[in-house]
């Protein structure tokens, strides 16, 4: 595969000469046709945005926030209300808001984990005071199972078939 690309590159070099602009255009079209189509589609999307909102010039990193993005922006403290959020925001603002929300969620999870550990320690100590340990619970369970098996054997021996 690499050899075929190298051969295509040499051929393009011979066809296009030493012009860097032509070389980049030709290489993009031949070696990466999907990217060339994607760039055209992106241009069409920007043109559609300008016709939909004539006073707006689309930037490369601008995007429309979803409902979840709006909630993240409000919870991160970037905006007071969801109505204050503009139609298009930069991806940097959204990334910063997501990072701060991610940190807040991590802090909440840490606090909940510590509370859960504390609750388990307290309940474990109370159970130890009442002598309700795993060892005694397992011994009781085995004794119960053994009694059930003996009862089943007695009923099976008592009934002739």
In the chain, the N- to C-terminal Cα span, in Å, equals 79
Note the pLDDT of residue 155. 87
Give residue 6's Cα distance to chain centre.
38
- Residue pLDDT tens, the chain, 161 long: 455 555 555 655 555 566 556 556 555 655 555 554 555 555 555 555 555 555 555 566 688 899 999 999 999 998 999 888 898 888 889 999 999 999 999 999 999 999 999 999 999 999 888 888 888 889 999 999 999 999 998 888 876 65
Nearest alpha carbon to residue 88 among 119, 117, 115, 53: 53
This prediction's pTM: 0.48
- Separation of alpha carbons 93 and 100, rounded Å: 11
Nearest alpha carbon to residue 82 among 96, 97, 95: 97
For 93, other C-beta atoms within 10 Å of its C-beta total 19
């Amino acid at each position: 595969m690499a050899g075929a690309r190298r051969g295509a590159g040499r051929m393009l070099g011979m066809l296009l000469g030493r012009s860097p602009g032509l070389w980049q255009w030709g290489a993009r079209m031949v070696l990466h046709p999907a990217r060339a189509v994607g760039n055209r589609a992106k241009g069409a999307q920007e043109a559609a945005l300008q016709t939909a909102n004539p006073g707006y010039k689309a930037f490369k990193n601008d995007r429309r926030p979803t409902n979840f993005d709006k909630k993240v922006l409000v919870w991160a403290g970037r905006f007071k209300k969801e109505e204050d959020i503009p139609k298009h925001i930069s991806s940097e603002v959204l990334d910063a808001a997501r990072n701060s929300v991610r940190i807040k969620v991590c802090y909440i999870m840490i606090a909940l984990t510590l509370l859960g550990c504390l609750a388990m320690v307290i309940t474990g100590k109370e159970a130890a005071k009442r002598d309700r340990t795993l060892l005694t619970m397992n011994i009781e369970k085995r004794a119960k199972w053994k009694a059930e098996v003996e009862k089943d054997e007695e009923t099976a021996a008592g009934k002739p078939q």
